[in-house]
Amino acid sequence: MTQKPRQSGKNGRPGRAQAPSVPVFSLYGETGPVDESEFVHIEDIRARSERYDWHIKPHQHRGLFQVLVLLRGDVEVEADANITKVKAPCALSVPPAVVHSFRFRPKTHGYILTVSEAMLARADHRGLIEDLFVEPRVISFADAPQRARPIAALLEQILAELHDDAPGRAKMQEWLVSAALLLIARHRVAAAEADRGGRQQRDLSRFRALIEAHFLEHWTTARYAEAMRMTEGRLNRLTRTVAGKSAFDLVQDRLLLEARRRLIYVAAPISLLAYELGFEDPAYFSRYFKARVGMTPSAFRRDR
């Protein structure tokens, strides 16, 4: 392995090697100042990336937010040393000062929107969109590609306004930027809620599978929670949110369903059924059944 020569300090002594600095641009490859109060810029991804062989090397922006919207293709994103590969349709947000780079697949289509921090800071709806820029984010539209279409239309209109000298252009741009960011933020919230709902459904399915395996053993709620690797409180919040019942009630529902089935279809003494259902005392089983069903096991069997 070839080693690079160490740099010399004063008097020819070995010095400390200097770390390469990260370039700071207004737009990639441009170092000129920007009007921070109203700065808005948008361009097709291809317009700049194709000149650099589709590879935008590590750099950062000061006081500028960026949002990339990919409509076709994919990109490998590096943000603060974390590398992620994402596919269109999606949006990516890059806060100011984050060191980032992009390696696009050739012919990737989409837009790069750059907006001054000052413009977003004075927006009335800042609270609705600021979560996009807490840290670099990837917002996928893969499950709802139709939601990317109005965003793309707004970005195309911003691009048109950029090259138009019509009266009120700055205000129109600000309005269009706000609308595009709001739509992206809405989709992020909806996707997060759907993902959370999906996880909750999966957790409830795991809980029901545990009930099926152990309800005859009369496991306590605490034991189910331990098997689920969560607290009793979290388990109860899960079941109340998704099923509308406590974890204890879901377990009892399954036990009572089994009791009803056996009382109807198994011609065996109720005392034997009580033992098979995990009760040590048939009398307690009768009291338990009556308290929850409203009649004794023998009356229930007679009526069926």
Q: What pLDDT does 21 receive?
A: 73
All domains of the chain, ordered by start, with CATH?
Answer: 23-195 (2.60.120.280), 218-303 (1.10.10.60)
Nearest to 48 by CA among 27, 63, 72: 27
Q: What pLDDT does 8 receive?
A: 39
Q: What angle do CA 134, 138, 144 make, to 5 degrees?
A: 125
Q: What pLDDT does 64 receive?
A: 87
Cα separation, 290 vs 122, whole angstroms: 65
Burial, 113: exposed, middle or buried (Cβ in 10 Å; 0-12, 13-18, 19+)? Answer: buried
SS3 272: helix
Output DSSP code: residue 108.
-
Q: What pLDDT does 2 receive?
A: 34
Q: What pLDDT does 143 receive?
A: 85
pLDDT < 70: residue spans in the chain:
1-20, 25-26, 28-38, 123-127
Q: What pLDDT does 168 receive?
A: 83
Inter-residue contact 74 to 85 (CB < 8 Å): yes
Q: What pLDDT does 30 receive?
A: 66
